[in-house]
Amino acid sequence: MAPDFTNSLVGGVGWDFLGDSEGYYFATPANFTFPDEFTLEFWAYPRSQRGHLVSFASEDDSNCLLVVNTKFPAYNEWYHIAITYADDTTTLYLNGDAQTGWVWADGFCGDYEGHLVLGQEQDSFLGTFDANQAFDGIIDTVAVYSTAWETVPADKPVGVDLNNMTLYALYSGYTRARDLVRIFAWGCCSLGRCANEVRARLSPFSRCVSAFVCVLLRALLRATGREQRRHSTLVQVRGRYAERQGQSEHT
C-alpha cells in the first residue's frame, strides 16, 4: 500500500510501524544537522492514535521536535505532512492546511544537531524508548529542505523532486533509509543540483570525479519507482534495523 506517487518523483517505499515494539524505529546518525531554516515533509498512513510520528532529540533536549499522532481527522488514510521552521516559528501543515496542537511545546527547540527518529519518541538522546509510544502506521519518503515553505498547496504532487536545489536530505526505503542526497551528492552537487549546505560538504575532487553517478542513480531510482507503482507494490521496510529487539542499525 502506498500513496499514488507521480512517476517523475521519488516515493512509494516507506516504513510500516506495527505499534507494538520499541525496536521498530528508524534513526539518523547523531551528527544529523538541520539547516538554519527548514521544511520537513513526509507522507503518513496512521492506523490508530497510537504512538508518535517524528522525534528529534539533541543532547540537551530529548523533545526538541516531537510530532504527536492524535490529531488526524480520520485514520487508515494517507496524509501529506510538512513542518516548517524559520525565525523561531514552527508551523505544521496537514494536506496544505496549517494546524495547531500537533507539535510538542509549540515548536522546534532550536538545537540543530541530533537524532531524527521516525515512529517513536526519544525520552533521552536516542534512548529510553517505550513500546507504548510506538507509532501504528506507515511513514513514506521523508525529505528535508533548506528553506521554510511559506505555503503548502493542498494539491502538491505526491513525491520528492530530485532536481529541487533546496533538497537537503531524503530518506527512502529504496536504499534502506540511507540519505539519498548524500548518495547523489558526488554527482549531483558537481552539476549544481543540491543545496549549498550539501555542496559545501564535498571536496572539489569528489565533485569532479563522480558527476556521472548522479545520472546513473537518478535513472535507476526512477525506473525502480515506475516498476513499483506499475505493480502497486509497497516494499514496506518495517524498521527492523536490528538482529534482535531493542537494537537498531542507524544510517
- If we measure between CA atoms, which residue out of 19, 46, 251 comes closest to residue 121? 19
Interval 146-194: pLDDT, tens: 999 999 988 888 889 888 889 999 988 765 657 777 654 434 443 344 4
Question: What b/e string do you get for 221-231 counting C-beta neighbours within 10 Å, with b at 16 or more?
Answer: beeebeebbee
> Residue 21 above 90 pLDDT?
no
Q: Which of 66, 44, 47 is nearest to 55 (CA)?
A: 66
With 0-12 / 13-18 / 19 or more C-beta atoms within 10 angstroms meaning exposed / middle / buried, residue 68 is: middle
Neighbours of 132 (CB within 10 A): 11
The string of pLDDT tens digits covering residues 86-117 is 999 999 999 999 999 999 988 999 999 999 99
Domains defined along the chain, listed by start = 14-159 (2.60.120.200), 179-236 (no CATH)
**What pLDDT, on a 0 to 100 scale, did the predictor assign at position 152?**
93
Rounded mean pLDDT of the chain?
Answer: 75
